[in-house]
Structure 1
Amino acid sequence: MKKYKVILLLVIASLSLNSCSEDKMDEINKNVNDPKDVPTRFAITDAMTRTAFSNTGSDISFYTGVYVELNAGGFNQMYNAETRNGEPKNQTTFNNSWNNIYQTMYNLKLIIDKCKTGDEKGNYNTLGMAQVLYAYNLALLTDMFGDVPFTQSFQPGVIFTPKIDRQEDLYKIIFATLEEAIVNLGKTTTLYPATGSQDLIYGGDNAKWAKAANGLLARYTLRLSFKNPDYAKVLDYVSKSFTDNKGEFAMKNVSIPNPYFEFDNQRGYLFASNSLHDKLIARNNDPRADAYFEKIEKTKGAPLTYEFFIQGVSPQSQNYSYSGLLNKTNPIFMLSYHELLFIKAEAEARNSAAVTSTASLTAAVKAAFNKTEDINFADEDASAYVAGLNIVTNADLLKEIAVQKYLAFYENESAEAYNDYRRLLAMYGSKAAHPIQLANPKNATEFPLRLPYGDSDVSANENVKAAYGDGTYVYTQNVWWAGGTR
């Protein structure tokens, strides 16, 4: 009996030692650089960076810039986009953007939940910032892809194939989230440390975040002008937003390079657009016609010259002029001051057919002539420029506002140029009547009216797979706010 007791004690001791060993190994294997729970003021820094660099400034901007001819796709994937060779409709084209936006929103949802009902309840400062970013990313997602999975998303292990939600309903969520964000940003947070330098956009300034939210509300209200126009509300939101380019909603940080600079530096696929250049020359020899582009040495030893890529015609090559705005330190715009002023000018002109004054347009052009991308022209240059545009009627004014806004979006705001082009296409009713005339002959049958769903969900979610079909819907189906059904 004594023998069995000894054996039993040895077994227990052995199990105890093994248990200690496993616990120790768990501790050793723990990655201290990948914590499972961090204060939200740190987590939101990553969300801001993803929103600006990965979601706003990268693939979506590069491709849409080619579609609306702010840039020309001269090589590789961008040439395929230019010639409509698979890239516009392939489910793999925007898979990175698709996944990045969803991941960003999932991370922001965790922050929001933690600040609303979790262990940081009452952290209104970070909550408001997260809600602005959440609404912005949701708008980016649905503006580009139309109806998308959302209300059943962000439930890993619970719902594997979330349903697709209608864009009309998603826009209601966008507006409600921004309105709630403004309320939270007006509250005082005392229990938690300020975001401070962890806020790479506004340095923890709640008032600036609230102004950005109002600016976004102005943009999204104008976005619905074909479906539900409310120009008085647009102007009200503008009046509550920022009043100079120091307050614009943008990421400018020495540690985060501008994506266009990085893309050109690493790939060299985007070049000077002949279509854009022609529009500049047609308007009093717009002074930006030189500032926007760089001359090249076409052949070795020859004088420097401009070589523009003709949309849908020029051959694939990397020997074209390129952007003159490329700079590692350029801001990544999410809502620029010049865009806000163009929104104001359009809302005023649409709110009353009697409006023919060019005062607001001139203010917007002045902001565009002095935007924070090494573009610096005198205010009197902008005034003289607008005065020479021969604007007489309200219709003239509206068309020129559209064109000038488009010209100002070069090169870092292509996604908004793409959104505006599609919105105005619905409002004017045809490509022929559109204020912005695109040159690519492929547009007759293959202008991308939206972006294709990402491969991750086309492959794994039967709802998305059915909606995607063979991808050709991108050429025939408008998004809801542009007159489509999805």
Structure 2
Amino acid sequence: MKKYKVILLLVIASISLNSCSEDKMDDINKNVNNPTDVPTRFAITDAMTSTAFSNTGSDLSFYTGIYVELNAGAAPGQMYNAETRNGEPTSQTTYNNRWNTQYQTLYNLKLIIDKCTIGGEKGNYTTLGIAQVLYAYNLALLTDMYGDVPFTEAFQPGVIFQPKLDRQEDLYKIIFATLEDAIVNLGKTSTYPVLGNQDLIYQGNKAKWIKAANGLLARYTLRLSFKTPDYAKVLTYVSKSFTSKSDEFKMKNDGIPNPYYQLDNVRGYLFASKSLFDKLNARTDDPRATGYFTKIQKSTGAPYTYEFFINGVSPQSQNYSYSALINKSNPIFMLSYHELLFIKAEAEARNSASVTSTTSLASAVNAAFNKDEAINFSGTNAISYVAGLNITTNDGLLKEIAVQKYLSFYENESVEAYNDYRRLLAMYGSAAAHPIQLANPLNTDKFPLRLTYGNSDVSTNNNVKVAFGDGTYVYTQNVWWAGGTR
């Protein structure tokens, strides 16, 4: 009896297989866990997350924060090597993880843009506009860090194996054009469903994305002020951008802790910079002079005190004060309200040498005191604080704007502090004349003017390999917008 049951089952199986169509067999052979055609509403969420957590808020921020002394790399390992310029700033492996994620994010965003323009979601203008904002932002982040990079010939796997490097000047033209296109597309009507909570930044609010695009245009126009100053245009973009910190281009994800929090918990690499403390302490009644930092107990029974790492000098140890701002829920700022107001204040002061009013500076400082982090300093009267700085000249105003903007960037906005420092280094002509005085004595001949290309391309693309050389170019070659040639 058992024999006949087996035969019957085989016959049924045979009939079932013969009745399957070719299309059905194709469906059976698909791996549902590895789809080849992902709806853009899912892909854009992933692109937002990688933009914030992998590209903006992680290694690039950690390293650049050390270079401009918002933090000190005190503990043994990579960050101390960066602090003491021991290999890390010139190695092709230092930033390789971020080099790869930056290109992967750009590639994914390109796929979204293509799908919403010539592909299966043609006419999905909202997602297209959002993707273009993120694309321009990530491209700017890429070229700001590395200078000339492969781009127009990149993203063609199996076609072009060694893409050429594109000039930063040309890449900035693409950045501006992409943001302008994004604003146009975000203003169009789309029949596709709104992203809602799949938009982790603005929950599908097109008006806020347009404000973010204008804010980025203001930032990047000011970025080019050494090459092609246009402060009136900066102010025009600012007028179309954020009106409060609720508009900020930032991201927090309850499921992913802030990268600074993760680094502190896992490795404890970053500590309190004496250079930063000294700048705060030099300003009367600045609440951040102590509020930014945590006291420590150096030994059992000893009093709790502030212990600052002397940049480039102190011995490696974890026995230093650290950030009081660290919190797993802190946002990652891609463009903050306080940065926008500092951009406005600088553009006003540079647009007319007669400007000495501190009104815009006070507004920016007030926004910085009230920024969205675990600790803010909302109890301080920004108008009184700025008045106490006794600014009477346009030059004095510009210098204090630069310093206050720098102070406001602690600790999650190190990349922009680094970009600003390099821009102003070009504009003021020397480190000695710079409004922000860095303390690391190694900066005499070893201040990293850029980051090295990633090993993934140095080892496979001869164009990148030649540009990399032995890596020491980072100490001598400015990026284009800071007066360099590449």
Q: Distance in 2 between matches of 1:282 and 1:25?
A: 74
Partner of 1:303: 303
442 and 105 in structure 1: CA distance in 2 versus 1, 3 angstrom threshold: same
Tell me the equivalent position of 1:167: 168
Residues 38 and 281 of structure 1, relative CA distance in 2, 3 Å threshold: same
Do 1:366 and 1:379's aligned partners in 2 also have CA atoms closer than 8 Å? Answer: no
* 1:122-161 map, 5 Å: 122-161=123-162
Partner of residue 205, structure 1: 205
Amino acid at match of 2:334: M
Q: Give the superposition deviation at 1:227.
A: 0.1
Aligned to 1:9: none
Aligned to 1:408: 408
How do 1:440-451 residues align onto structure 2 when only pairs under 5 Å count? 440-451=440-451
**Residues 15-94 of structure 1 aligned to structure 2 (within 5 Å):** 30-75=30-75, 76-94=77-95
Q: Is 1:336 matched up with 2:313? A: no
State how far apart, in whole Å, the 2-side matches of 1:92 and 1:400 are: 37
Q: Quick check: 1:235 aligned with 2:248?
A: no
Name the count of aligned residue pairs.
471
Q: Corresponding residue for 2:115?
A: 114
> What is the CA-CA distance between 1:254 and the residue it aligns to?
1.0
What is the alpha-carbon distance in structure 1 between the residues aligned to residue 429 and residue 218 of structure 2?
23
How big is the shift at 1:380? 5.6
Partner-residue secondary structure (3-state), 1:373: coil
Amino acid corresponding to residue 41 of structure 2 in structure 1: R
CA contact (8 A) 1:68 1:418 kept: yes
How far does residue 376 in structure 1 lie from its aligned partner after superposition? 3.1
The amino acid across from 2:299 in the alignment is T
Cα distance between partner residues in 2 of 1:301 and 1:251: 41
2: CA distance, partners of 1:205 / 1:154: 30
1:223 aligns with 223
- Find the counterpart in structure 2 of residue 5 from structure 1: none
Alignment CA distance shift 1:276-1:35 (3 Å): same
8 Å Cα contact 1:369/1:375 also seen in 2 = no
Distance 2:364 2:31 in 1: 51
Q: CA deviation at 1:194?
A: 1.3
1:82 maps to amino acid = E
CA distance in 1 between counterparts of 2:473 and 2:123 reads 45
Aligned to 1:102: 103
Residue of structure 1 equivalent to 2:187: 186
How does 1:386-397 map onto structure 2 within 5 Å?
386-397=386-397
Q: Residue in 2 aligned with 1:6? A: none
1:226-261: CA deviation from partner (whole Å, max 9, x where unpaired): 000000000000000010000000002212211101
In structure 2, give the amino acid aligned to 1:101: Q
Is this contact kept in 2: 1:202–1:209, CA < 8 A?
yes
Q: Deviations over 1:169-193 (max 9, x none)?
A: 0000000000000000000111x22
Which letter does structure 2 place at the counterpart of 1:299?
A: S
Q: How far 1:381 sits from its partner (Å)?
A: 1.9
Q: C-alpha distance in 2, partners of 1:254/1:447?
A: 36
**In structure 1, distance between residues paired with 2:26 and 2:178:** 41
SS at match of 1:78: helix
d(CA) in 2 for partners of 1:27, 1:83: 57
Distance between the aligned counterparts of 2:385 and 2:134, measured in 1?
36
Code of the residue aligned with 1:175 in structure 2: it is F
1:13-62: CA deviation from partner (whole Å, max 9, x where unpaired): x9xx89x9x99998667432221111101100000000000000000000
Kindly indicate whether the alpha-carbon contact (under 8 Å) linking 2:287 and 2:380 is maintained by their aligned counterparts in 1.
no
Residue of structure 1 equivalent to 2:10: none
> What is the rounded CA distance, in whole Å, between the counterparts of 2:431 and 2:388 in structure 1?
26
TM-score (normalizing by structure 1) = 0.94
Per the alignment, residue 399 of structure 2 pairs with: 399
Following the alignment from structure 1 to structure 2, what is the Cα–Cα distance between the partners of residues 375 and 349? 30
Distance in 2 (CA, whole Å) between partners of 1:380 and 1:293 is 17
SS in 1 for 2:334: strand
Q: Distance in 1 between matches of 2:317 and 2:433?
A: 33
1:374 deviates by 3.0
CA contact 2:285–2:385 (8 Å) conserved in 1: no
* Rounded Cα–Cα distance in structure 1 between residues aligned with 2:235 and 2:140: 20
Structure 2 residue matching 1:250: 3-state secondary structure: strand
The aligned amino acid for 1:431 is A
Q: What CA distance in whole angstroms lies between the structure 1 residues aligned with 2:209 and 2:183?
A: 8
Describe the superposition over 1:373-406 as per-residue Cα deviations: whole angstroms up to 9, x where unpaired. 1333347621111001110100000000000000
Measure the CA separation in 1 of the matches of 2:371 and 2:469: 42
d(CA) in 2 for partners of 1:211 and 1:309?
A: 39
Alignment of 1:323-402 (within 5 A): 323-378=323-378, 381-402=381-402
Secondary structure class of the residue paired with 1:460: coil
Q: Which amino acid aligns with 1:407?
A: L
Give, in whole Å, the separation in 2 of the partners of 1:170 and 1:328: 35
CA distance in 2: counterparts of 1:470 and 1:453, whole angstroms: 11
Q: Distance in 2 between matches of 1:28 and 1:266?
A: 43
Q: CA deviation at 1:278?
A: 0.3
Matched-pair contact (CA < 8 Å) for 1:124–1:189: yes
**Contact 2:326 / 2:374 at 8 angstroms: preserved in 1?**
no
For the residues of structure 1 that align with 2:481 and 2:263, how far apart are their CA atoms? 31
SS of 1:333's equivalent in the other structure is strand
Residues 23/185 of structure 1: CA separation in 2 closer, same or farther (3 Å cut): closer
Unaligned regions of 5+ residues in structure 2, if any? 1-13
Structure 1 Cα separation of the partners of residues 272 and 113 of structure 2: 42
The Cα offsets for residues 189-214 of structure 1, whole Å up to 9 and x where unpaired, read as 11x22111100000000110000000
The letter for the 1-side match of 2:127 is T
In structure 2, what is the equivalent of residue 11 of structure 1? none
CA distance in 1, matches of 2:116, 2:78: 42
Structure 1: runs of 5+ lacking an equivalent: 1-13
TM-score calculated relative to the size of structure 2: 0.94
C-alpha separation in 1, matches of 2:40 and 2:178: 18
1:313-360 per-residue CA deviation (whole Å, 9 max, x = no partner) reads 110111110000000000000000000000000000000000000000
